[in-house]
Amino acid sequence: MTAVTTRRRVLVADNNRDLAQILGEVIGSEDSLDFVGHVSSGAEALARVGAEPIDILVLDLGLADVHGFDVLDRLRRARSPTKVIVHSGYSSPQLAAHATQRGAAAYVVKDGDVKTLLAAIHAA
């Protein structure tokens, strides 16, 4: 008898379409992950998380409409089960601490190394 493994659904919220496309390809190539799409605004991210089962949200802080921390705060207030990985271009221990205090599962710097991001997604 074989075990059935559920693929974890991952949504990327980032206003950089090219980066989101690359992340989608990398995430989608993982057997245990299912890339479900890309949104560029906090409103779109919140709508998708509220409307469908999203296991992990990869969240940029600089979205088109709101700061990523606002999205984190709203998800926490809504008691969303979605795990959030903040994926930011800023390498700042203060921002990382702030993100985890607001409920992020991890803070990963956008430095071109997708292995770190994948490790954080798998650990969430």
Domains contained in the chain, number: 1
**Does the model's pTM come out above 0.85?**
yes
Contacts with 23 (C-beta within 8 Å, 6 or more apart), sequence order: 12, 14, 35, 38, 58, 114, 117
Asked whether residue 111 is assigned to any structural domain, the reply reads yes
Q: What is the pLDDT of residue 112?
A: 79
Asked whether residue 2 is assigned to any structural domain, the reply reads no
50-108 confidence digits (pLDDT tens): 999 999 999 999 998 999 999 999 999 999 999 999 999 989 899 999 999 999 999 99
Nearest to 87 by CA among 31, 29, 22: 22
Residue 18 has pLDDT above 70, yes or no: yes
Over residues 96-121, the mean pLDDT reads 93
Q: CATH number of the domain that 72 lies in?
A: 3.40.50.2300
Asked whether residue 110 is assigned to any structural domain, the reply reads yes
**Residue 18 one-letter amino acid:** D
Q: What is the pLDDT of residue 111?
A: 86
Asked whether residue 74 is assigned to any structural domain, the reply reads yes
Domain that holds residue 118: 8-123
Q: What is the pLDDT of residue 1?
A: 47
Asked whether residue 3 is assigned to any structural domain, the reply reads no
Asked whether residue 88 is assigned to any structural domain, the reply reads yes
Asked whether residue 1 is assigned to any structural domain, the reply reads no
- Confidence grade of residue 122 (pLDDT, cut at 50, 70, 90): very high
Asked whether residue 46 is assigned to any structural domain, the reply reads yes
pLDDT-above-90 percentage for the chain: 85
Q: What is the pLDDT of residue 5?
A: 61
Residue 2 has pLDDT above 80, yes or no: no
Dig out the tokens for 75 from the structure: 């998800």
